[in-house]
Amino acid sequence: MTAAYGNRIGGASLSAGTTFDSVNPAHPTEVVGTFPDSDASAVGDAVAAAAEAQRRWAEVPVPARGDLIARAADVIAARKGELARLVATEAGKILVEAGGDVQEAVDMGRFVAGQSRGPLGTTVPSELGRKMAYTTRAPIGVVGMITPWNFPVAIPSWKVFPALLAGNGIVLKPSEHAPLCAERFAECLEEAGLPAGLLNVVHGHGDPGAAIATHPGVGAVSFTGSVPTGRKVASAAMAVGPKVVSLELGGKNAMVVLADADLDLALDGALFGAFGTAGQRCTSTSRLVVHEAVADELVSRIAERAAALRLGDPTDPATDVGPVIDRWAGERIVAMVDRAVAEGAELVLGGSAVDVDGCEGGTFVRPTVLRAEREVSIARTEVFGPVLTVLTVSSLDEAVDVVNEVEYGLSAAVYTRDVNEALRAVDAFDTGIVYVNAPTIGAEIPLPFGGTKHTGNGFREAGARGIEQFSQVKAVYVDYSGRLQKAQIDTNPLP
């Protein structure tokens, strides 16, 4: 019998009237769990619970908050195998990538815990004697989080751990495609001793996310997902009053390969970047921008290797590429490829869905390679699937133009043996992340994650700046002179 789960509100599991099933994308008839399809009233209850718990949590010393986060990371690490298998089953990521997803949560927890004993502000010399001037960070109160399915353990950790360290209560709305992963993540924090009500999980489709964005008791909203949905979230949130809104949206990431590049290395990077997670990462390598001198050789080698990738059940260690998340996604990806061919792109490999033995009903898209001109729509539009579009250039300057001409600015990479060209590319790419001799995926916890242009709105996740979207800067002046001091009036009196 399929297990049924409720919303996690105030430490209790609460059911709702209607429900939905989370299914295994490789075996859609296999129900992973049944969850409430919640409405705004559930969000209201969750916000109230978070607000009540937050008042007590804000009084806990920051290092003690960090200790709890460290314990949560240890719990996740101890359950890594179980969680990785769940990620593979519910989100369709192959096992090794699912393990990486869980490890990111472990690493994030340990990194954030370490920040609890580091500086959370700055101290500056006052222009007056016997006066201190410094900044600190104060909690926002209740923060709402809307997370996607493709990193169903990692991305909640990027948001939840910094928000807890900052002293907030949380309402999390996970993707309807991976709700059990969010349940298990919250369960790990509960096992580590997180007070009831600090992390509330509300399941459902669109209604809970909209209610989080517009609830007056939510002081900050952190969203990861598509550009159209992100715009709706931001617009709705700001319409009800000032809120902190953090958006992590799409990408059209390019890997530039110059004529002097190590083609063996570039080949491995292109395959992993484009077809890892079936191309369903916001940082996936969607464009290969390659110098004309090596384009034919590299494309031929990519097509040969990509054709040999094994599609199958993501829990099978022999699988290279798992399913896309659902049939709608598969139909959209194939339609984009068909349109590109109609616009003049050359289909080198793939371009269609395929049935996989043992995975009846699952939607698998063949690894696809296209050669196209810059004007073709698929060269500018996020695909979110295993599709690599190859664009040929004659110089680094032309490559930079190609990288920067799209509306997104998340990640870019350059392959070259020339350090001068590499650093010139680093300076010129209008993206939040740049890799040299590595694909466009593979961000590490200590550095900030995020992009420019329509990829986001300026906030960054992870790294030392990850706490910024979940806290408010407070300037503090302590005058111990025993007399009235008047700042600039005293320091620079009129002549």
* Catalytically annotated residues: 248, 282
Residue 302: left if φ>0, alpha if ψ -120 to 50, beta else—which one?
Answer: alpha
Q: How far apart are CA 387 and CA 377, in angstroms?
A: 13
- Determine how β-strand 19-24 pairs with β-strand 27-36: antiparallel
Q: Report whether 371 contacts 390 (CB < 8 A).
A: yes
How many whole angstroms from its chain centre is CA 74?
A: 22
Hey, what are 136's tokens?
Answer: 């600190």
Hey, what are 294's tokens?
Answer: 């090596």
- Determine how β-strand 253-257 pairs with β-strand 285-291: parallel
Q: Report whether 62 contacts 119 (CB < 8 A).
A: no
Q: Is 190 helix (H, G, I), strand (E, B) or coil?
A: helix
Hey, what are 430's tokens?
Answer: 């209008």
Q: How far apart are CA 247 and CA 221, in angstroms?
A: 8
Instruction: Tell me the DSSP string of 261-283.
Output: S-HHHHHHHHHHHHHGGGG-STT
DSSP 8-state assignment for residue 375: T
Angle at 212 between CA 86 and CA 282, to 5 degrees: 50
Return all residues near 475 (Cβ < 8 A) that are at least 6 apart. 133, 134, 135
